[in-house]
Amino acid sequence: MTNSQLDRLINLEFHKRRNWLSQPVGYYKDKRWYPSKNEKQKCCNNINTLSLKTHCRTKRHIKNLLKQNRLTEIEDEIEHLYELDYPTKHLTTIALLTQEAIEITETL
């Protein structure tokens, strides 16, 4: 996935959440909303619990969320490639995925 493709996904999800077409994933406890384990990002740590659901609709949060999701996908893809009978055939793909992961990590 290229950076421009990821940026498009970020913009699309931001638009959907801003217009209430998509919701952050979470739950209510004691009349307060909390993000799910997967929804919660580092950027959520210092946010007042009363503002968390609003924060999870921000572009900053969505960017962190989708980049983290992509990193998880890359890890899974690399793990799968190493499990194949001849992982050396896939070293170029592994290298490209690793480079993508590095680029994403640098922007988190």
**Residuewise pLDDT in 10s, the chain (108 residues):** 777 899 999 999 999 999 999 999 999 999 999 999 999 999 999 998 889 999 999 999 999 999 999 999 999 999 999 888 787 888 999 999 999 999 999 887
- Residue 43 per-residue DSSP state: G
CA–CA dist 66, 81 (Å, integer): 22
- For residue 26, the surrounding DSSP H or E stretch is strand 26-29
Q: What are the φ/ψ torsions at residue 71 (nearest 5 degrees)?
A: -60, -40
Looking at residue 3, what is its pLDDT? Answer: 79
Tokens of 22: 């998509």
| 83, containing H or E segment | helix 59-83
Q: What is the pTM of this model?
A: 0.84
Range of the domain at 51: 3-106
Amino acid at the residue 17: R
Number of domains in the chain: 1
